């Protein structure tokens, strides 16, 4: 059992060579409540982690190890490709009583959703009911008692935080389509070059990536309860960042700006990492991913359509931060009873 009474938690990062693993290490080596005892890469075993993640120069003397060399610890973070964590979940649990998985392997509670959205049968469906979606703004009580935590997808995280207050307030017209348009940076495709992420293919490009059928739709429906969501994803020339623009039909045309502000304020007024943007003037009056690079913040804003029963909700995050590694560290803090902001105090840079 992980608890705050321990002086420092022993943590390991499995699959630490990718962008998400590197971001986890950057956050964890600066976290005063943890000691990183292992970072694994089967391909790079023996090499210093700072050779792959240069921001760790002078911050960590760790070398990549193989999974078999991971010592007993309190928490294992799995930053592995989709499908890998479920295949080795028993091995991960043998290293630590708490596993935080950053892949899609345990995000969905319905085993049928893996066939529908990922085109495969889940290898360990009996564990899906025990896994907890690791976005603290949704369900802290369950996170505090979970031994298997699954962080949300980056697009899903931004969309859920944009839509959840309206869904919970019952003001969404579920008989009409709810369009979620997401713009994503290239790091969301991972560290290995591909036709979608390699620089010559991304330079100067704005390209539809998944106009329909994106896998993160399943998470949005699951966590908001809205089944009228249609998600479209576009790749843009940026390295980090997700910007979600959701066109939400309102069930009551009388829901005005004041009521909408109250809905978002009531939901997020006590949240340390969700900021509701209320500026009405200036170039920064809407959420911007660039301002959030390296942070665990999600900025949410909205604008009521004066010509119809519609509100446009915008949410911005760093896909490697709030959309992945920082969300995982936030969940660790909640699970261990630590200060929720521990290791996550970076406020971003401006200008960049």
Are the CB atoms for 272 and 340 separated by under 8 Å?
yes
Is the omega angle on the peptide bond into residue 169 within 30 degrees of 0, that is, cis?
A: no
Q: What would the two tokens of residue 299 be?
A: 């900025």
Residues 6+ apart with CB under 8 A from 84: 15, 78, 103, 105
Question: Which of the residues 95, 154, 298, 341 is marked catalytic?
Answer: 154
Among 134, 135, 138, 233, CA closest to 188: 233
* H or E element, residue 303: strand 298-304
Within its chain, how far is the Cα of 315 from the centroid?
A: 13
Residue pair 311/305 in contact by the 8 Å Cβ criterion: yes
3-state DSSP assignment of residue 54: helix
Packing angle between helix 216-224 and helix 154-169, nearest 10 degrees? Answer: 30
Question: In this structure, are residues 230 and 216 in contact, taking their beta carbons and an 8 Å threshold?
Answer: no
Catalytic (active site) residue 154: yes
Transcribe 211-279 into DSSP letters.
SS--THHHHHHHHH----EEEEEEEES-SS-EEEEEEEEBS-TT--HHHHHHHHHHHHTT-SSEEE---
Token pair listed for 318: 């760093």
Residues annotated as catalytic are 154
């Amino acid at each position: 059992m992980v608890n705050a009474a321990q002086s420092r938690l022993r943590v390991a990062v499995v699959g630490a060579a990718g962008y998400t693993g590197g971001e986890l290490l950057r956050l964890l080596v600066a976290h005063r409540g943890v000691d990183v005892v292992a970072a694994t890469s089967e391909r790079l075993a023996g090499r210093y982690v700072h050779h792959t993640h240069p921001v760790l120069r002078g911050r960590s003397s760790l070398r990549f190890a193989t999974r078999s060399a991971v010592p007993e610890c309190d928490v294992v973070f799995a930053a592995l490709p989709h499908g890998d964590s479920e295949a080795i979940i028993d091995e991960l649990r043998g290293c630590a009583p708490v596993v935080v998985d950053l892949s899609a392997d345990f995000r969905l509670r319905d085993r049928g959703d893996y066939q529908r959205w990922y085109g495969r049968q889940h290898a360990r469906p009996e564990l899906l009911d025990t896994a907890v979606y690791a976005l603290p703004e949704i369900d802290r009580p369950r996170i505090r008692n979970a031994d298997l935590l699954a962080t949300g997808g980056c697009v899903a995280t931004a969309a859920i935080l944009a839509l959840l207050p309206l869904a919970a307030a019952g003001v969404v017209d579920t008989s009409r389509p709810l369009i979620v348009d997401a713009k994503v940076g290239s790091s969301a495709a991972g560290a290995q070059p591909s036709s979608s992420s390699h620089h010559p293919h991304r330079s100067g490009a704005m390209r539809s990536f998944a106009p329909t059928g994106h896998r993160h739709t399943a998470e949005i429906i699951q966590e908001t309860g809205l089944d009228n969501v249609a998600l479209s994803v576009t790749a843009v020339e940026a390295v980090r960042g997700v910007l979600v623009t959701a066109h939400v039909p309102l069930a009551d045309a009388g829901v005005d700006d004041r009521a909408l502000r109250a809905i978002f304020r009531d939901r997020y007024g006590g949240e340390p990492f969700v900021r509701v943007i209320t500026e009405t003037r200036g170039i920064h009056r809407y959420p911007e991913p660039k301002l959030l690079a390296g942070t665990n913040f999600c900025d949410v804003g909205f604008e009521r359509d004066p010509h119809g029963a519609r509100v446009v909700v915008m949410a911005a995050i760093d896909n490697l931060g709030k959309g992945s590694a920082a969300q995982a560290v936030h969940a660790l803090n909640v699970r261990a009873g630590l200060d929720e902001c521990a290791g996550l105090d970076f406020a971003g840079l401006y200008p960049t």
